[in-house]
Amino acid sequence: MTIPSVSLSEQQNIQQILALDARYNNNRNTAPHTKTLYMRRRSQLLRERSDRDRYFQLRSKLLSSKYPSVLTPSDYRAGSRASSMHSRTCSMDSLDIIAPQPSGTPQTGRKKGNQLTPRRHHTPIRTATQPDKDSYAFTDMPHIFDQHSKAVRLVRFAHNSCTLLACCSDDFTISLCNLAPYSVKCVLEGHTGPVRDMDWSIDNSSLLSVSVDGTARLWRCDSGTCIRTIASSHPLTAIRFQPMNNNVCVAGDEEGVLRGYNLSTGKALSGSRERVSNSLTCLEFGPNSSILWASNNKGQIYSVSVNMLTCQLKRMKCTSIPGGGSVVSLAVRAGHPSPLLLASSTSDLIFMFTVDKDVLLLVRKCSAKLNGLPIRSVFCPIATAQRGAFTVSGCVDGSVLVFDMEKGKAVNKLQGHSCPVYGVCLSYDESLLVSSDSSGTVIVWQKR
The string of pLDDT tens digits covering residues 266-314 is 999 998 999 988 899 999 999 888 999 999 999 999 999 999 889 999 9
Please give the Cα distance from 76 to 89 (Å, whole number). Answer: 9
Cβ atoms < 10 Å from Cβ of 413:
20
Give the tens place of pLDDT for each residue, 360-418: 999 999 988 888 899 999 999 887 655 678 999 999 999 999 999 888 888 899 999 99
Amino acid at 128: A
pLDDT band of 436, cuts 50, 70, 90: very high
**Average pLDDT of span 228-252:** 95
User: Residue 120: its pLDDT value, please?
Assistant: 34
What residues form DSSP beta bridges with 169? 152
Q: Where in 276-380 does DSSP place strands (E)?
A: 280-285, 291-296, 300-306, 313-320, 327-333, 340-345, 349-356, 359-367, 377-379
Q: Which residues contact 407 (CB under 8 A, 6 or more apart)?
A: 132
Candidate ranges 60-69, 157-166, 336-345; pick with highest mean pLDDT: 157-166
Q: Could you tell me which of 307, 319, 231, 241 has the C-alpha nearest to residue 274?
A: 307
Q: Packing angle between helix 8-27 and helix 32-47, nearest 10 degrees?
A: 160
Radius of gyration of the chain (CA): 24
Please give the Cα distance from 260 to 279 (Å, whole number). Answer: 17
- Would the pLDDT of 174 be above 60? yes
Helix (H) or strand (E) holding 200: strand 195-200
